Structure 1
Amino acid sequence: MRKRVVRACVRRASPSLCLRCIGSVPSPRPGTHPRRLRCASMVRPGAGTQRSTRSRSISMAQARRSIISTTRPDSASMSARMTSPEYPTRIGLEQALEIVAASAAQHRLPEESVVLGDARGRVLGMDVRAPHPLPPFANSAMDGFALRGADLPVEGERIFGLAGDVFAGASSSPSVGAGQCVRITTGAPIPPGADTVVIKENVSVFGNGVVVRAGAKPGANVRAAGEDYAVGDLALAAGTPLGAAQLAVLAAFGIERVAVRRRPRIAVIATGNELVPAGQPLGFGQIHESNAVMLAALARESGADVVAQRCVRDDPDALRAALLEGAADADVIITSGGVSAGEADHLPRVLSGIGDIRFHKVRLKPGMPTLFGQIGACLCFGLPGNPVASAVTFRVFVHFALRAMLGVTTVHEPDHARLDEPLHKRHARAEFARCSLRTDGDGVRWATLHAKQGSGMLRGLAETDALALLPEGEKEYQRGDVVTLWPG
């Protein structure tokens, strides 16, 4: 019998695992096409990941891994196939994240060039090294007078002759000789012969004479050329998210365009016969659709472009068509609902017919029915239909996958808080509990878990400050116990 191999991390589950467990994985086998679907005619060429895109590790050090094998049932035994799926099920959070990490690393997004003004929030696609020193020349850190440090008085005071002025942006500067000084402004180049700046508040000026009192130090108030970056220094590493500070560094080097990872393209599909678009009246048993709106917003907050957002009835054919259409345009499909074991939950069966399922069901609360798979080169996340479970599993799995696809290398240490009240965790699954945060007068952060943790309660989701991770296993938590706050 053949065995299907899935990589899994053996380390203890923790939020920091998410960004440290992604390692390099093999490229697709020669002769295979990353977009080869069972219904290939419905997929436009070029959608999704370029075959030439190579995966890279974003971890600081290679994580230890174990190999988990699950036996594939004999194809002759149909009943065994139905009762024993060919993919992991009811797995732990750590193993689920490892499977997502391995798949996402194989789908690293290609680079594109954008002008610097459009690069905010993007992820740097390649290393940037300093093309010239920064600052490019020695300059003054203060307004004052540039002179030779060797001429400074050891005691008392000394009169220096004023040889001229130099201001920021000047194209030339007078030289400084023995016993001379030059008036200088912040940022102006240090004149030839000078190596020290005495601030203007510490001198007296009369005519062409400047009185400098003892106490100034040679070399003071001078920024050396290359003090910030020397030529060839690594200024920004590939995988760095570009914010205001990073854009300032690139601008200081005179970089006009920068290579960034293309934004992930996301298709959002909400399923359910009961869903009604906003603006339409509700009939019996109907609710206004909110999950697709929420998931699309979360995707945009994660740096993605939403290329499709739609609702589909609980119909296998309609769902199949929507998935194939999404796979043609998107890098990632996110569905909501239809993923559990009910009569109208068609996603597992439909997805297994047109793609592959990597896992189904995670020992997680909320989010037990979560499904992860792939249609060609398009990753597919089947999230639960309850809004809280949908939002939580997006943050835990989808946001994590998008960071890996973008090649993000920054690792934020997880935050922690102390429980404000005792808690008896009565189930074995890992749990993400919604909580409110406060900081007391001593600077200690406290987490108050919401009294109502129902996965269908939007109010609790809207009032949540953070998700507190409660690891697997029943446990009695005491007031003051430290819990981890999930990043993102």
Structure 2
Amino acid sequence: MTDTCYVQAAKLLTVAQAKQHIRLAIQEIAERESVAIGAALGRILADDLHSAVDIPPQRNAAMDGYAFSSRQLIADQAVELQEVGTAWAGKPYQGSIGPNQCVRIFTGAVVPESADSVIAQEQIQRVGNSIHFPPGTQPFKNIRAAGSDVKQGEVLVTAPKRLSPADLGLLAAAGISSVAVKRRLKIGFFSTGDELSALGNPLRTGQIYDSNRYMLSGLLNDANHICTDLGVIADDSELLEHTLLSAAEQFDVLISSGGASVGDADFVKQALEKCGRVNFWKLAIKPGKPLAFGRIKNCWFFGLPGNPIAVLVTYRQFVKPALAQLAGNTAEMPLQLKARCESALRKSPGREEYQRGILRQTAPGEFAVKSAGPQDSHQLKVASLANCFIVLDSACAGVSAGESVTVEPFDAFLSE
């Protein structure tokens, strides 16, 4: 049976169309700033970075052992060399290696100029200062060449990129102490609704606690964001219009939750039309149909639905990639995997649906998923239990246990 609430779904934007509208509308910010690499994790790199040095800067040992010249080796015969010194990491051996000599060396230590090979310490026999090399010792092994990781002048990291811990390590290895990054986005968020009560206050009849702002605060936690909680705005059209106009002067992005539907007290779309421009409003998605996207002056606006699961879905599908694009990164799209569904799933054709699931890995590269519980859009407990979305396309009329489905993990790690 087709979803009767959405018999006009053909007139609604699909998820893909809405994402394309956003991608075409948003242009990245131009401003940048310089930050120390210790504070650069997760920031968006503004310029390509080149190395001023070779990494590593000199030849060094790949393991603990003994440095020697391959000229001392005799084919298929054991060789005895005398240890004449030690090369430590950070304290090179200062002498030279003569005939029938070798040097004790530790991982990362500079290889003496006259040596071209290192043998692992486990392969030798030591008697006093005599080092016995076994027959068949391989020459030219276990030495890292200067520049074997990065050559001087080579690109280290290409912009734009969200800087990872490995990037910071690479930059530090090249001696770079600060980088140019895109400035952080200024984001304001608020909830709307007379039914919302602040935490700590006793609930009156008809009231609920405002959970959406706290969920949004967590979703917006990002190194590229400066977020301001604007609280709860009452169901008052003039107050909402004033809030939007005033906030648009301060922020790059405004995000609201609630008031985006079609009820008499749902003022968000009307206020957006008066204060700015509506790019689109309704989408063929469940949950999250009443999503308003538009612009007020130079500020982008996302009016998310009031149901908490609709906030979670629409933020991850639309707002998160839009913020990444605006911040100067390439648009970040959710990872999708195939998994065997262990639950029968109910669904009516008409809208793309994001059900909450629990994903597990059954073997390397193999996954199974089951429903996390009831799928009503107000049920936060199920969302708390879930670790993925089960993505069902608009034509899907339900899933039988054992079928393959598409899932979007919330994280790169799964609990055992």
Global fold match (TM > 0.5): yes
Query: Which is further off, 317-326 or 358-367?
Result: 317-326
Q: Distance in 2 between matches of 1:440 and 1:126?
A: 42
- Aligned counterparts, 1:331-480, within 5 A: 331-409=252-330, 413-440=335-362, 444-480=366-402
- TM-superposed deviation, 1:210: 2.5
Q: 2:166 aligns with which of 245, 251, 255?
A: 245
Check the 8 A contact 1:296/1:309 in 2, yes or no.
no
Could you tell me which of 106, 114, 120 is aligned with 2:35?
114
Measured in 1, the distance between the counterparts of 2:336 and 2:277 equals 33
1:320 paired residue among 241, 265, 286: 241
Answering whether residue 257 of structure 2 is matched by residue 300 of structure 1, we say: no
Shift of 1:308: 3.3
The verdict on how the C-alpha distance between 1:90 and 1:246 changes in structure 2, with shifts beyond 3 A counting, is: same
Contact 2:41 2:163 in 1 (8 A): yes
- Structure 1 residue 320, shift from structure 2 partner: 1.0
Q: Where does residue 403 of structure 2 map in the other structure?
A: 481
Deviation at 1:243, TM superposition (A): 2.5
The answer as to 2:134 corresponding to 1:213 is yes
* Change in CA separation of 1:109 and 1:283 when aligned onto 2, cut-off 3 Å: farther
**Residue deviations 1:116-163 (CA, integer Å, cap 9, x gap):** 111122222222222211111100112221111132232232222333
Query: How far apart are 1:208 and its partner, in Å?
Result: 4.2
Q: In structure 2, what is the Cα distance between the partners aligned to 1:441 and 1:201?
A: 36
Relative distance call for 1:348 and 1:405 in structure 2 (3 A) is: same
Q: Which residue of structure 2 lines up, in the alignment, with residue 190 of structure 1? A: 111
SS of the residue 1:423 aligns to? coil
* 1:237 CA drift (Å): 1.6
Instruction: Report deviation, 1:255.
Output: 1.0
Q: Which SS does the other structure have where 1:205 is aligned?
A: strand
Percentage of matched positions with identical amino acids? 36
Which residue identity lines up with residue 84 of structure 2 in the other structure?
A
Q: Are residue 135 (structure 1) and residue 72 (structure 2) matched?
A: no
For 1:100, give the aligned amino acid.
Answer: I
Q: Post-superposition shift, 1:300? A: 1.1
Q: Indicate yes or no: 2:24 matched with 1:99.
A: no
Aligned pairs for 1:52-91 (under 5 A) are: 90-91=12-13
Q: Indicate conservation of the 8 Å contact 1:147/1:196, yes or no.
A: yes
C-alpha contact (below 8 Å) 2:49/2:156 kept by paired residues? yes
Show structure 1 runs of 5+ residues with no match. 1-87
How many Å separate the matches in 1 of 2:334 and 2:174?
27
CA deviation after TM superposition for structure 1 residue 334, in Å = 0.5
Query: Is 1:258 the equivalent of 2:179?
Result: yes
**Could you tell me how far 1:487 is from its partner in structure 2?**
5.7
Amino acid at match of 1:415: L
Question: What is the one-letter code of the residue matched to 1:346?
Answer: F
Q: Distance in 1 between matches of 2:334 and 2:16?
A: 18
Q: TM-score, normalised by structure 1?
A: 0.77
* Inter-CA distance 413–217: structure 2 relative to 1 (3 Å threshold): farther
1:169 match: 90
Amino acid at match of 2:176: I
Question: How far off is 1:452 after superposition?
Answer: 1.3
The number of residue pairs the alignment matches comes to 400
Query: Closer, same or farther in 2 for the Cα pair 1:413/1:342, shift >3 Å?
Result: closer
- The answer to whether the 8 A contact 2:92-2:110 is kept is no
Which whole-Å CA distance do the structure 1 matches of 2:68 and 2:115 have between them? 5
The answer on whether the counterparts of 1:160 and 1:209 sit within 8 Å (CA) in structure 2 is yes
Q: Is the 8 A contact 2:335 2:408 kept in 1?
A: no
Q: CA deviation at 1:426?
A: 1.4
RMSD in angstroms over aligned alpha carbons? 2.1
Q: Structure 1 residues 306 and 89, CA, compared in 2 at 3 Å: closer, same or farther?
A: farther
CA distance in 2, matches of 1:180, 1:171: 16
CA displacement at 1:437 relative to structure 2: 1.7
Residues 257 and 368 of structure 1, relative CA distance in 2, 3 Å threshold: same
Give me the whole-angstrom Cα distance separating, in 1, the residues matched to 2:133 and 2:282.
77
Q: Does 1:285 align with 2:206?
A: yes
Using a 3 Å threshold, how does the CA distance of structure 1 residues 107 and 197 change in structure 2: closer, same or farther? Answer: closer
The AA in structure 1 aligned to 2:337 is D
Query: Counterpart of 2:220 in 1: which secondary structure?
Result: helix
In the alignment, the residues of structure 1 paired with residue 321 and residue 292 of structure 2 have an alpha-carbon distance, to the nearest angstrom, of 15
Aligned to 1:146: 67
Whether the aligned pair in 2 keeps the contact of 1:307 and 1:329 (CA below 8 Å) is no
The change in CA–CA distance for 1:208 and 1:443 in structure 2 (over 3 A counts) is closer
CA–CA separation in structure 2 for the residues paired with 1:304 and 1:89:
35
